[in-house]
Amino acid sequence: MVLPEGADPLAFHWPVKDLPVLLIEVGTFDTARLERLAYALLRDGAAFVRPLREALLAKTPPESWPTYCQDHYRAA
């Protein structure tokens, strides 16, 4: 799935209920947009959202953003 440039993630209904989501941010950092999209995914039932910032993958070791999860989610 792709969030169109300039679109509000909360305007969409994401088919992610009970699924883990890997969210890849490409290009420049936009923390507010990343967090709004993570919130929209959790709102629509994602078990957890693990954001990766493409620009940070070239680092050794690669850096990632914190994972967002539902309050009731427990990792196995």
What is the per-residue pLDDT across 33-66, written as a single tens digit (0 to 9) for each?
999 999 999 999 999 999 888 877 777 666 666 7
Q: Give residue 55's pLDDT.
A: 76
Q: H helices of the chain, where? A: 31-43
- Beta-carbon contacts of residue 66 (< 8 Å; ≥ 6 apart): 51
Q: What angle do CA 33, 11, 52 make, to 5 degrees?
A: 30
Higher pLDDT residue, 69 or 47? 47
Q: Give residue 74's pLDDT.
A: 59
Average pLDDT estimate for 11-19: 96
Q: Give residue 27's pLDDT.
A: 83
pTM of the entire predicted model:
0.80
